[in-house]
Amino acid sequence: MTDEIAKSKAVQELYNTYPFPPDPLVDEPPPGYNWRWNWIGAYHFCTGKKPLSNNIRILDAGCGTGSGTDYLIHLNPEAEIVAIDLSEKALEVAQERCKRSGVKAKSLEFIHLNLEDVDQLCGEFNFINSVGVLHHLPDPIKGIQALAKKLAPGGIFHIFVYAELGRWGIQLMQQAISLLQGEKKGDYIDGVKVGRQIFSTLPEDNPLVRYEKQKWALENHRDECFADMYVHPQEFDYNVNTLKQLIDASGLEFVGFSNPQYWNLERLIGNNPELLERSKNLSQWEKYRLIELLDPQLTHFEFFLTKPPLTKFDWSKDEVFLTAIPERHPCMDGFPSDTLFNYDYQIIKLSNEELTLLKACDENNLKKRSFKDILEELNLGIEIARLLEEKRLIILQ
């Protein structure tokens, strides 16, 4: 047995022992939304405009117990969805979850398959979702290259991988558990037992104990989560430099991080003109590296790649912006109240003018009127429309 096969078998055994994520099975659709799993929201983020069609193919590459798959079905009812995973037990849960949620998919198929063997699937996919998977592969570069070949031209690829600087406590605890397990390493039930004993034995002011309580204790009361975090047999944690190497190896184009607010250097050194001036000499990826060094709290990278051509639309000129056909963003909760949860589940308060315009955009899904016509009818200025765009409450086409 080769080393890569042995590592894959070890990961498979972990998730057969502790299917992940351990979200409860319920007889109703998944709650809320994640805009990164919504084709319209994700495509608009990547391009600035609404996709021409929702009749697409989606691949959930490493679906686990199907929590993400359930959302993909719920948020993309016109899509054909294929979900793959290497764990038979996790797939059983995933199928039961999606059956019980009651969400009807246009087409849904679950396949027991290693991610590296994705070339066995027929056709290409417009949207590939791979959350928390690549960093657990024996060879992440081989995995991302395999998925890149299945991405259709103009498609988008949503990826989530671990970031090393914000996971320092996890890394140390993983090594400590491994040392104390000795020959029992690979017995995941024993690994959870050892890890919990360590946390219960260390002094309360121990930095690892404080780190666990501050960051992870709420979810780690479940053994499945504890095992996934602390006794995983295969894990790569990335920094900006190694992440860029992974992306470059894929042959795809980097679109952007899905949390752009974190990657704004001015929030860290914006009050020092000299430092800002010095930073102008840095490349974009050097700026990213500087940000993670100055604010080392990030526990994961979440971003989009694409296979060109992917046309990005520029609405910065007012005369162009006024020709846009606006619709309400599909991911929000509480509408039509003036206080609602936005695409990122942040509570925002709308002015009367903003709410009036947002209601008109909500009706515009059928009417297909331009901003110019809507603003003239409501006697509102373009600045209100720009506010809705800035807050990402609207989708443009």
The CATH number assigned to the domain holding 251 equals: 3.40.50.150
Query: Do 149 and 15 fall within a single domain?
Result: yes
Please report, rounded to a whole number, the percentage of residues in the chain having pLDDT higher than 70: 100
Closest CA to 313 of 47, 45, 40, 39: 47
Query: Do 128 and 29 fall within a single domain?
Result: yes
253 in a domain, yes or no? yes
Number of domain units in the chain: 3
Query: Do 132 and 249 fall within a single domain?
Result: yes
- pLDDT digits over 184-235, tens only? 999 999 999 999 999 999 999 999 999 999 999 999 999 999 999 999 999 9
- pLDDT digits over 69-79, tens only? 999 999 999 99
Query: Do 90 and 59 fall within a single domain?
Result: yes
Average pLDDT, the chain: 97
> Given a cut of 70, is residue 261 above it in pLDDT?
yes
Query: Do 219 and 137 fall within a single domain?
Result: no
The confidence score (pLDDT) of residue 103 equals: 84
User: What is the domain extent for residue 31?
Assistant: 3-164+237-262+298-306
Query: Do 20 and 155 fall within a single domain?
Result: yes
Single residue among 306, 340, 360 that ends a domain in this structure = 306
Query: Do 65 and 154 fall within a single domain?
Result: yes
Q: What is the mean pLDDT of residues 237-249?
A: 98
Query: Do 99 and 177 fall within a single domain?
Result: no
- pLDDT digits over 359-392, tens only? 999 999 888 999 999 999 999 999 999 999 999 9
Residues in the chain: 397
Query: Do 96 and 189 fall within a single domain?
Result: no
- pLDDT digits over 322-348, tens only? 999 999 999 999 999 999 999 999 999
Query: Do 152 and 175 fall within a single domain?
Result: no
- pLDDT digits over 296-330, tens only? 999 999 999 999 999 999 999 999 999 999 999 99
Treating both helix axes as pointing N-terminal to C-terminal, what angle do 168-181 and 188-201 enclose, rounded to 10 degrees?
110
Query: Do 71 and 151 fall within a single domain?
Result: yes
The confidence score (pLDDT) of residue 294 equals: 98
134 in a domain, yes or no? yes
Is 0.95 topped by the overall pTM? yes
Q: What is the SS3 string spanning the chain?
A: CCHHHHHHHHHHHHHHHCCCCCCCCCCCCCCCCCHHHCHHHHHHHHHCCCCCCCCCEEEEECCCCCHHHHHHHHHCCCCEEEEEECCHHHHHHHHHHHHHHCCCCCEEEEEECCHHHHHHCCCCEEEEEEECCHHHCCCHHHHHHHHHCCEEEEEEEEEEEEECHHHHHHHHHHHHHHHHHHHHCCCHHHHHHHHHHHHHHCCCCCHHHHHHHHHCHHHHCCHHHHHHHHCCCCCCCECHHHHHHHHHHHCCEEEEECCCCCCCCHHHHCCCHHHHHHHCCCCHHHHHHHHHHHCCCCCEEEEEEECCCCCCCCCCCHHHHCCCCEEECCCCECCCCCEEECCCCCEEECCHHHHHHHHHHHHHHHHCCCHHHHHHHHCCCHHHHHHHHHCCCEEEC
41 in a domain, yes or no? yes
258 in a domain, yes or no? yes
CA 321, 323, 324, 326 dihedral sign is positive
The confidence score (pLDDT) of residue 105 equals: 87
Q: Both tokens of residue 60? A: 């959930």
The confidence score (pLDDT) of residue 171 equals: 97
> Given a cut of 80, is residue 53 above it in pLDDT?
yes
Count of beta carbons in the 10 Å neighbourhood of residue 150: 21
Single residue among 230, 249, 275 that ends a domain in this structure = 230
> Given a cut of 80, is residue 1 above it in pLDDT?
no
Single residue among 306, 333, 358 that ends a domain in this structure = 306
The confidence score (pLDDT) of residue 157 equals: 98
313 in a domain, yes or no? no
Query: Do 323 and 370 fall within a single domain?
Result: yes
